[in-house]
Amino acid sequence: MADPLTMLRALCMALPDATERVSHGEPAWFVRRSPQFASFSDHHHDDRVGFVAAAPPGAQQDWIARDATRFYLPPYVGGRGWIGVYLDVEQDWEEVADIVEEAYRTVAPKSLVVQLDAERQPE
């Protein structure tokens, strides 16, 4: 399996005006300088490797109901609807990409969502 941080970073940084910086000792991704849409977690609150991401209303519960061995309610930000994704288990990286993109869409300004939609349109 490829390095999960490298794969996550590639997904996050492919989004319009995404930036990376360290937050709470871990790599984190932001739209421009703020707001944050995802953060890596390497044994940060437990003995697991994963990430947390902003999520639209209802998505957190949906992902956890699908598979609680891959998705979890993260401490601190879980109460705001964020989803936790374990990266130390087998993951479907297309689903991870969907979660990252939805996290971005949840916090990004409308102009950047429009830009993302334009980039996603087939030519």
**45 vs 51, more confident:** 51
pLDDT given for residue 4 in this prediction: 96
* Structural domains for the chain: 4-110 (3.90.1150.30)
CA distance 29 to 59: 20
CA 55 to chain centre: 8
Residue 84's pLDDT band (cuts 50, 70, 90): very high
Q: Which two tokens stand for residue 46?
A: 């437990």
> Does pTM top 0.75 for this prediction?
yes
pLDDT given for residue 44 in this prediction: 65
H, E, C per residue of 65-99 = HHCCCCEECCCCCHHHCCEEEECCCCCCHHHHHHH
CA distance 13 to 63: 23
What's the whole-number mean pLDDT along residues 86-97? Answer: 96
